[in-house]
Each structure stands twice: as C-alpha cells, then as structure tokens.
Amino acid sequence: MAFDIEMIKSVYAKMASRVDKAREIVGKPLTLSEKILYSHLWDGTPAKAFVRGKDYVDFAPDRIACQDATAQMALLQFMQAGKSKVAVPTTVHCDHLIQAKSGAVADLKVANSTSAEVFDFLESVSNKYGIGFWKPGAGIIHQVVLENYAFPGGMMIGTDSHTVNAGGLGMVAIGVGGADAVDVMAGMAWELKFPKLIGVKLTGNISGWTSAKDVILKVAGILTVKGGTGAIVEYFGEGAKNLSCTGKGTICNMGAEIGATTSTFGYDASMERYLRATDRNDIADAANKVKEHLTADAEVYENPELYFDQLIEINLDELRPHLNGPFTPDLATPVGELGPKAKANGWPIQVDWGLIGSCTNSSYEDLTRAASIAKQAVDKGIKPKSDFGINPGSEQIRYTAERDGLLQVFENVGATIFTNACGPCIGQWDRSDLKGDEKNTIVHSFNRNFSKRADGNPNTHAFVGSPEMVAAIAISGRLDFDPMNDTLINEDGEEVRLDEPMGIELPPQGFAVEDAGYLEPDEDGSSVEVKVSTTSERLQLLEPFEPIKPAQLQGVKLLIKAFGKCTTDHISMAGPWLRFRGHLDNIANNTLIGAVNAFNKKTNFVKNQLTGEYGGVPDTQRAYKAAGLKSIVIGDHNYGEGSSREHAAMQPRHLGVAAVLVKSFARIHETNLKKQGMLGLTFANENDYDLIQEDDTFNLVDIADFTPGKPLTLEVVHSDGSIDTIIANHTYNASQIGWFNEGSALNVIKRENAA
Ligand code: MIC
Ligand code: SF4
C-alpha cells in the first residue's frame, strides 16, 4: 500500500475541475506540465493565465523530500520557524554521508559511527516534527522516492537538485534550497517563476546498446548545461511510451544537468506497471480514473510546435550510445568516436574504474543490463581491465538483486558492492589506487563529472555513460572501446565480442526486502528532544542573519572574480566537507576554494586588498569581515550550476559577502541567494565582466531604491582612482526585496509566526 494515499486521492479529486478551468483560462489545449502546475496553485482553482518565464506564482506542493547533507541546514532553519509539525508529508533520507571504501557492510558500520551525531540529530528532529526517516543504508533519496512516494500528476519539492527524478513517474518534482522547503514545511506557499516549456518528441525505439541514459546524454549535448534554465522539459511520443518508468526517471534525473527546472512524462502503461510492482496498486487504480489529466491534451502532442516554447525531436532508432565528459556533463561524444578526441586532448585512454550507481542509474533494470554485460566477461573468459564499483539504489533493489543473483555476477568480475547510497558520486570515495593527483580516467553512470567531484583529484577525467556501457568500457579498460564494432582478446588469446545488453524491467518474482530502513515518526512528537551540543564541530544552531544596510554597500571589496565554470561544487565543495554540512561556521572554511581566480588562474589564492597579500578565499573574506567590510563575488555564466545546496549561499552570507554579480545564474542558486538576504545580480552588459580589476571597490549607489524591475547602478572604483559605472539587472520581486530588507526569508517567517 502507498504512503499518504488519502493525500493523493484528494489531489486527484480536485484535478478534473482545476484542469478544465485552466484550459478555459489559458484558452487552448494544455501540456502535462501546465496541468500539474495549474492544479497545484496555492490559491486553488485557477483564476488567471500566467506568462511563462515571467510571472512569479505561488504553488502548493504535495510533499517534500530531503537528504542528509541538505536536511541538516533545512531542519536547523525549520526549527527556528516556530512550528510543531511539518505542514505537508515530508521525508529525510540518509544517503550522502556514507563513504565507499571496502564494501557495504563495513562502510555502513563506519558511517554509522563517524556520523552518529548527525544521523541521531536527523532522526530525532524528524521524529519531533512528523517527518518520515529513512536510515543510512535504506537507499538513495531519489530511488526511494520513486519506489515509495512519487505519483503521477503530483507536485513535490526536494532539497536536492535531482528531485527531478520523480518526473519518471509523471510528477512535477523540483529541486530547491532548504529555505524553500522550510516555507512549505511551515505551511506557506512555495514561489516559482512560471516555467517555460521545452517539448522533446521521441520517435522510434530504443534498442541494442542504446539506453534511456543516451537520450539525456544526447539532450545535454544539444541544450548544454544551461539550455534548460527556467524550463520544464516534457517528453512524449511513441519512443517515450516504450521506455520503462525507471528509464524515464534516468532521463528526468539528469535533466538537472541542463539546468531544467524539471522534466516529466505523461502517465502511461510503464508507470502503471511500476506502481503495481512497487506495491502501489491503490495509486495505479486511482490514477487510472483520472488518466486523461495525467498527460497532455491530444492536440498538444499532435502539433507540439504550437504549445511548447522550444521543440526537440530525437529519433531513437538512430540514437547512438554516448559518453559525456570529461569535467562537464554536456560534452557529448558518440561511443566509437572518443579515440581521436581523447588523443587530441590528452585524455588518458586507459580506464581505471567503472562505477555503476547514483540516483539516476541504480534501478533493478539498470543492474540487470549491466550484469548481462559483466556476466559475459566471465562466460567468455575476459579478465576485466578496470576495477568495478556498484552502488544499488535502495535496500529493496539490493535485496532483490541479491536474491536474483545479480550481485553475484558483479562479484564474479571482482566488483565491490558499496552501500545503497551516493558514495563516489558525491566524493564519498576512499580511492586507494591513486597515490597522488595522477592523471587518470574513470567511467560512471552518474550524472555529474565536474572536476574533483568523485575522488577530489582535479586530474581524474570522468565520463558519464549508461550502466551497460560503463560495464563494457570497464571490461575493455579503454575509453575508445566500441562494443558494437570492436572485439576483445580473452584469456585464451581468442577474439571475442560482447553481445548486446539484456535488461529486465521489473523483477519477475517481484521486489522483496526484509528491512527497508524506514522509521515512522511519532504521532505526537512534542516531547521529543532534539539535541545539538554547543561544542559539536558538525552541528551548530543558527543565528539569524542581520540585514545588509545600504550604507554597508558602499566601499564593497572584490573578494574573487571567478573565471569560467563555477558550480556549487566550486563554491562549497562536497566530499570531505560534507561532514560540516550542519555547522555553518566550520563549512564556511571551504567557501569558493574551488573557484578559479580570473587574475592568476589559481584556486583559493586571492588578493587581500587590505594587506596586498595573497591568501585563501575564506581567510581573506574573514579579514574583510573583521574589518567590518562587505564584499562582492564576480562570476561568469551559469554561476552556481549543479547542486541545490544552500550552503553555497549561506556560507558567503555568513562570512560577510553582500553581493554576487555574474553573467547568468543557475535557478536554484539564484533563489538561494535571495532567500539568505543577499544580492544576486547579473551584468546588464556581459562585457562589463572584463572591466573588473583585482583591486576594485564597489559602490551600490542606488541600493536604497531597490525596486522590482529596476536595474541597480554600481560604481566600480579602480585602484588608480578611475571609475566605471555599470548596470546590474536583478529578478527580485517585492516579497524577495522584503527578504533582503529583513536579512533573510527565514527572518520574515519568524516575524510573521511570532505575530
Ligand atoms: C549533488 O548531486 O550534487 C548533491 C550532493 O546531491 C546535491 C545536494 C547537496 O549538495 O547536498 C544536489 O544535487 O542538489
Ligand atoms: Fe546522490 Fe549523486 Fe544523486 Fe546527488 S547525484 S543525490 S550525490 S547519487
């Protein structure tokens, strides 16, 4: 039986009338995305048509999911909001804080002891506020959500950018910062700019070596890491119907890598099969009754160019498997064409590791497809040339895969089965085969491959592919291996070929699990005590941020002018720093240490304008703070791409950065800056980026007149006394300016709740 079935039924009960009303108001047939958005308005029945990409709209999401690394900050903030229970069904999943080293049993034991304080905090705070708690080892948040909570036509938010995975089950599921989640937990509306809509029509059928992963690898190549910004990507067409539900999840999941607000698919037979296989006949039956509202109106898919802002068509019959990378998930190359590219760029051809897992590709089907390749290595006498690591997506998948002999297949090729957790995908990987920062190549089925992400080594070249392609490449040990055309030499010196992968969509004997790892919260948690030790180095209660006053915005120092890609991994690195996610002052010591200084191309080496000396970014910033000075960060395009982690905004805020001025922002990060009462600004003229010098001081001359829709003027005072006056755009609406004026969105909630 499904969790929260009454809530789901009530969403469905209101759906028909709201969708009909929306169709009437919009005046034309509706996409699925619009149906879900318009049926989740905070004000209930739709009363006006919204302008895509322009209007801010208040929504009422059905549920919230948080993972351990972001939940700490989200719940520390929620504790300040003055509520006794969360207002909508919420869950916390412990998956990011578990290191992959020797294998699941030992690694989980270590995590349970080294992170006991954090897990205990999350468990008790969940219990207190009515939040469902998934213990370490239960699985990766997005697989667990897909298996248990996602439902067609629903809307959810989650404090992780890959919350979008639930689009595979026909949801509008959106990644947000913790402060956004706090709004909804506290019973308030959740605000989002009404997204634009990108349609992706899938014709033909996936077959052979091509998989669902290749659809999104291809889309990433087309749209690039910022092409989906501000948009929902809606997939449809015959090719979509023929994909499994978890395959759809993979495509939606990695939609985070093109900056899309989310991605989704209309309800179909694959979703019904998945719901029934995961013990949710009740949802499938309820969804079947409102089927027509859980997909777009027929006219939309017949003439998509009339209804979407942008349309992409992919013929799956012609789609080839891809490997994307290194260092960015949108550098797409068809398998078989990597040899010359690697040679020209100096990417090591030899592959050291093949890693299968991550929230995007750790389903039962993924494991069966990869296992069908691994099995051939043994059957055909080929000794794999690379090491293998596997992270199953959930305990239910792991248990079932063990029962069905899949894990044994991987063990037979020497694979290490890591915990059902993020592991190497988030730098939680104790990689013993490297001595230092050697140049090397790995392939994985994850979705992110930014510099240093998996193992902290800037010289690890990571390529993203489907689990079965990762298995094939790992067996061959070569980045330029093309299993469709190349042969391998086995241990008897014979030439052998790998046959096409064979997947099993859902376990024929059904899913099974002994202990899924779920803890239901107490009905009344009022007596539960949440303990945070004042001497803890991992958890720290929050102090409200002071508003930044106009006078403080004169004489603002340049902290760093970031060069090129500056993702949240560059702003607040994960891996070893994940341990401080609940302690703002400690984690602030990693602020922007991965960003490249435009003036010397070094990381964590910036000029302190007070002393003229060079030092680390956090130290330099602490020096400005001690001197009572505010600072500004300058950045390039798509600043803050990647994660939802609000630490990337809270840390600079805590250290005294007042403004971030960039060519463009990634959506979640821009909102996170606003929520924390900072200024997130964009250059009106991109070329003004080039005017910024190392010794610059900034005056935000008209900040006292901070108004929606009105650009701000900045004086950039150079060291020779000359001044450039530049214009900065912003997207703050009136209530967001209120957050800035009061110091943070949380300060506003606290004041309102106290009143
Ligand atoms: C990621 O994949 O980068 C993460 C780690 O899951 C993040 C969340 C975090 O930083 O905790 C995300 O994608 O939002
Ligand atoms: Fe975890 Fe990686 Fe998925 Fe992020 S992308 S939730 S780190 S598995």
156 vs 172: CA distance, rounded Å: 7
- If you average pLDDT over residues 66-79, what whole number do you get? 97
Residue 742 predicted with pLDDT over 90 = yes
- If you average pLDDT over residues 448-472, what whole number do you get? 97
Provide the whole-model pTM. Answer: 0.96
The pLDDT score that the predictor gives to residue 89 is 98
For residue range 88-145, list pLDDT tens digits in order. Answer: 999 999 999 999 999 999 999 999 999 999 999 999 999 999 999 999 999 999 999 9
Q: Whose CA is nearest to atom 2 of ligand 1?
A: 643
- If you average pLDDT over residues 153-181, what whole number do you get? 98
The pLDDT score that the predictor gives to residue 631 is 98
Residue 65 predicted with pLDDT over 80 = yes
Q: For a pLDDT cut of 90, what percent of the chain falls above it? A: 98
Given the residues 162, 448, 581, 653, the one annotated as active site: 448
Angstrom CA distances, 177 to 50, 165, 187, 513, stand at: 24, 16, 16, 32
Q: Whose CA is nearest to atom 3 of ligand 1?
A: 643
Residue 754 predicted with pLDDT over 90 = no
Q: Can 309 be counted among the known catalytic residues?
A: no
Given the residues 96, 478, 581, 653, the one annotated as active site: 96
- If you average pLDDT over residues 25-32, what whole number do you get? 98
The pLDDT score that the predictor gives to residue 54 is 95
Q: Can 330 be counted among the known catalytic residues?
A: no
DSSP string, 463-508: EE--HHHHHHHHHHTBTT--TTT--EE-TTS-EE-PPPP---SS-T
Mean pLDDT for the chain? 97
710 vs 726: CA distance, rounded Å: 14
The pLDDT score that the predictor gives to residue 548 is 98
Residue 670 predicted with pLDDT over 80 = yes
The three-state DSSP-derived secondary structure of 516-543 is CCEECCCCCCCCCCCCCCCCCCCECCCC
The pLDDT score that the predictor gives to residue 29 is 98
Q: What angle do CA 380, 467, 479 make, to 5 degrees?
A: 75
CA 468 to chain CA centroid, Å, is 23
Q: How many Å lie between the centroid of ligand 2 and the Cα of residue 496?
A: 35
Ligand closest to Cα of 421 equals 2
DSSP secondary-structure letter at 173?
A: E
The pLDDT score that the predictor gives to residue 57 is 97
The pLDDT score that the predictor gives to residue 236 is 98
- Ligand 1 pocket test: pick from 93, 96, 144, 428 the residue with the most ligand atoms within 8 Å of its Cβ: 96
**Does 570 contact ligand 2 (Cβ within 6 A)?**
no
Q: For a pLDDT cut of 70, what percent of the chain falls above it? A: 100
Q: Can 63 be counted among the known catalytic residues?
A: no
The pLDDT score that the predictor gives to residue 1 is 81
How many CB atoms sit inside 10 A of residue 566's CB? Answer: 29
The pLDDT score that the predictor gives to residue 463 is 98
The pLDDT score that the predictor gives to residue 371 is 98
Q: How many Å lie between the centroid of ligand 2 and the Cα of residue 423?
A: 8
Given the residues 4, 160, 482, 688, the one annotated as active site: 160
Residue 531 predicted with pLDDT over 90 = no
Task: Kindly give the number of the ligand 2 atom that is closest to the alpha carbon of 447.
Answer: 5
Q: Can 654 be counted among the known catalytic residues?
A: no
pLDDT-based confidence at residue 649 (cuts at 50, 70, 90) = very high
DSSP string, 330-358: T-EEETTSHHHHHHHHT--SBEEEEEE-S
Which amino acid does the sequence have at 607? K
Residue 296 predicted with pLDDT over 90 = yes
For residue range 171-198, list pLDDT tens digits in order. Answer: 999 999 999 999 999 999 999 999 999 9
pLDDT-based confidence at residue 753 (cuts at 50, 70, 90) = confident
588 vs 107: CA distance, rounded Å: 27
- If you average pLDDT over residues 605-612, what whole number do you get? 98
For residue range 209-234, list pLDDT tens digits in order. Answer: 999 999 999 999 999 999 999 999 99
Q: How many Å lie between the centroid of ligand 2 and the Cα of residue 586?
A: 23
Quickly tell me which residue has 């890591």 as its tokens: 418
- If you average pLDDT over residues 26-48, what whole number do you get? 98
- Ligand 2 pocket test: pick from 67, 70, 96, 362 the residue with the most ligand atoms within 8 Å of its Cβ: 96
For residue range 514-528, list pLDDT tens digits in order. Answer: 999 999 999 999 999
Asked if 708 and 734 touch (Cβ cutoff 8 Å), the reply is yes
Q: Can 293 be counted among the known catalytic residues?
A: no
**Does 359 contact ligand 2 (Cβ within 6 A)?**
yes
**Does 422 contact ligand 2 (Cβ within 6 A)?**
yes
